[in-house]
Amino acid sequence: MAALPFSTTCRHSNSPLHHNSKTSFIGFSQRNNIWQLFVITKSNSRRAIRKLCVKNVTSDKKQELEEPLNEQDTFNEFVPDSASIASSIKFHAEFTSPFSPEKFELNKAFFATAESVRDSLIINWNATNDYYERMNVKQAYYMSMEYLQGRALLNAIGNLQLSGPYAEALRKLGHNLEDVANKEPDAALGNGGLGRLASCFLDSLATLNYPAWGYGLRYKYGLFKQHITKDGQVEVAENWLEMGNPWEILKNDVSYPVKFYGEVISGPNGSKQWVGGENILAVAYDVPIPGYKTRTTINLRLWSTKVSPEEFDLQAYNSGDHAKAYAVMKNAEKICYVLYPGDESIDGKTLRLKQQYTLCSASLQDIFARFERRLGKRVNWDTLPDKVVVQMNDTHPTLCIPEIIRILVDVKGLSWEKAWNITKRTVAYTNHTILPEALEKWSLTLLQDLLPRHMEIIRKIDEELINEIISEYGIDDLDLFQQRLKKMRILENIELPNSVMELLSITEETPAVDPVKEIDVDDTDVKATEKEDGDDDDDYEVVEEEQEEDNEEPSVEEDTSNKIELKFKVDPKLPMMVRMANLCVVGGFSVNGVAEIHSKIVKEEVFDEFYKLWPEKFQNKTNGVTPRRWIRFCNPDLSKIITKWIGTEDWVTDLEKLAILRKFADNEDLQLEWIEAKRRNKIRVASFLKEKTGYVVNPNAMFDVQVKRIHEYKRQLLNILGIVYRYKKMKELSAEERKDMFVPRVCIFGGKAFATYVQAKRIVKFITDVGATINSDPEIGDLLKVVFVPDYNVSVAEMLIPGSESSQHISTAGMEASGTSNMKFAMNGCIVIGTLDGANVEIREEVGEDNFFLFGARAQEIVGLRKERVEGKFVPDPRFEEVKAYVRSGVFGPYNYEELMGSLEGNEGYGRADYFLVGKDFPSYLECQEEVDKAYHDQKRWTKMSILNTAGSFKFSSDRTIHEYARDIWRIEPVELA
């Protein structure tokens, strides 16, 4: 920790980094051309005078830490200069760099610089976590399978307010800061919006001084690196860890056992013990997350998996059976190899489930250990929800719910009732999708095999749910009861619990003239019966049994009763599944959507029965993005203009100040500065595109961008078909007519298609084929270019978004939960072309209807439009038929696009019938694009629209979102280290 001449005192603690003595790192001196680090150890007898205070922002009360810091240690009293930073970088280049000493090239310069920055982060990081330990604050824990962080160097020194000194220090050492920063690979810990949101949230949590940690997995290869060839997308392993990761700190002393398979043994007192099976270790890697202009530095703890060296079969290795020797080790390590491994096979499904459980189990063991440590000898588990809140980012961490119960019941000895009550007050769930395939379901057989104890617990939770439904609504109306169970049960196509079957054994007294009908159900009578006539709604059937005629005189009971048998039908043709989203709703105290329209759909459609039962659980928390990374750091030209016209840089942490720009939107001086900043960014984008793709584009053309995960519902296909139609019309005109009718455009795409998503990969191939044809057409020239940027990631976004002028967010209405790239584009003065879907709805409200290009069907129309299609009533627009015929003509090469075009045809069937309504919205989309051209012709109008988009984007800061989570869900308070 030698980089900067900060000094700190450290003691035995459970903070992320601790030392056995109090140590000050003073700086460097040069002797005989060797840079030496001076370490001075302080004796306990020389106590510091000044005390570090921590302030609860909301109460404005100061509390003193037990261990004071020296006066020179305060955050605001020392700002390192370029000379001390250069010394720090030199030290790390010589003594800690993973490169040979002879040269100081860019890769080595990056590592040395990053480790220098990390040193200053660790000081703040230790102080932050030491405070959390000492004061026992309530802490939020964010559980996510993805963190799409992007590069960390510029963000870290920006947050530390050290960009200038670091740039100057590197100049002295012969390098440019931007060139050094470009050598950092993007951390391959995420894929799309889910992971980017999680990273924005961590930035805001630290900036706003909220006590929180993130938990995730340390993927060795991430998703994949995308190459674009003549055959389309090709996936290769991501190599982000090839040279190491200077930001992470391995914690060999922080590891937890994670178990799979085995069996559950019941004890004489009803206790349960999970034994046998496969055992691995989850080991912690910590990444400091700094806040902006604050000392608060929180932690992202990532888990890697391994087994102990004793598991290595040395005997097998020496006998030549190397595969057997390594088998157990590789089996453990592969859990953290790849983000979202393909799940077409049972092995793939098992691996995904192992990943999810590893995240949940290791993180919860860590959280519980911290909870116990902070309380000391007197641990009261009833207070867990007062100190801990676990936020599940989508359904991937659902196993947190049964894992909390397992630990509390099996390990800590609590009763089921207590454990279940504690769990329901500790866990919260963010829903990110209404797509059925993304509302996770797992095979009961797989769960039972891999996690037998958890499956027992899930069955018990399902039973509790059914009992609550019965308690709330009764069972007088069996049809309504079974409809509720069909939507609400956690277990799908699985028999009812015995206790519920017994509850349904009801005796109903009637007058003597009528026989008494008795519902008599025994678990042994439950049979798996096939559903008749394809009726999926009938989960039960009532069968009246004929009274047996007997010569014997019946008993009184037999004489006055007739039995009705209620049989639960399990369809053997359908799989038995566990519905993770339902488990999240049942086991959590809060369920939130991520945009107003999405939350409305969640309440009224996806979880409507749950909403009726527990309306108090449901909330909306519209997503946001951090303005530090997405304006201040990635778009410095625009940032300077905003600061100049607003009159303060406070907008970086108080984005509502952007609204001040509205009163200057017509100012010609502002508009000229705005246009020039956009032009400089476009020139950078043009240079970037040439470097990455070889295509040369004209910066004077309009830059139109659609970058996001490739998926049919996001409708990149609609965009490229619109471009094909534009190209066809251009070809039908003379050169003069083309110039008069069309605005020059550079259409930029980026995004990854999941490796096994065949249709998405066809779309990537189609876009690249269209681009290859159009870009080489001399008649069209600079009037139209189509560029697919390979391996889209955060760093690419940071380049493209500042230079974009229009951006397409054109998902089928009602299918995008929120979207966050639309927010980033709007913040940077880009005008959105979009449907009323996700956060588009709120963006349009904030920036003004005249500053948003709207088209397409509304969410409430979608079901009816699909029904219309099934009934054969849809009549396609002639222009839609024309563009499909044009594609089929072979103008874009020999590849057969019949499957792709065929998916847009027919009235029903999987992969047919245009499920995402490309054809329905196509005419509206073309008309919208004509409006875009018209507006762009008037540059004064367009620039005003751009300014108003930035001015109206203030709502979409992740700072606002985090304040709402903290206030409404987590109930945590900001704490500032002063």
Q: Annotated active-site positions, please?
A: 432, 708-709, 714, 820, 824
Pairing of strands 590-593, 441-443: unpaired
- 3-state SS assignment for residue 241: coil
Smallest CA-to-CA distance from 156 within 118, 198, 195 is with 118
Angle between helices 918-937 and 878-888 in degrees, nearest 10: 100
The one-letter amino acid code at 976 reads E
How many helices, marked H, and strands, marked E, lie in the chain? 35, 31
E-strand spans in 431-586?
Answer: 441-443, 491-492, 507-508, 516-519, 540-544, 561-568, 577-579
- Whether residue 761 contacts residue 233, with contact meaning beta carbons closer than 8 Å, is answered with yes
Q: How far is CA 651 from CA 157, 496, 830, 918, in A?
A: 19, 56, 19, 40
- 3-state SS assignment for residue 384: helix
Side-chain-facing half-sphere of 615: CA atoms under 13 Å: 3
Give the CA radius of gyration of the chain: 31
Q: Give 306's contacts (C-beta < 8 A, 6+ positions apart).
A: 280, 281, 283, 329, 332, 333
The one-letter amino acid code at 929 reads Q
The pair of structure tokens assigned to 673 is 């500065």
CB neighbours of residue 525 within 10 Å: 12
Pairing of strands 297-306, 702-707: unpaired
CB neighbours of residue 34 within 10 Å: 9
CA gap 162, 655 in Å, rounded: 22
CB neighbours of residue 257 within 10 Å: 11
Q: Is 29 exposed, middle or buried (0-12, 13-18, 19+ CB in 10 A)?
A: exposed
The pair of structure tokens assigned to 454 is 């958890």
Pairing of strands 702-707, 806-809: parallel
Q: Is the dihedral of CA 693, 699, 702, 705 positive or negative?
A: positive
Q: How many whole angstroms from its chain centre is CA 766?
A: 28
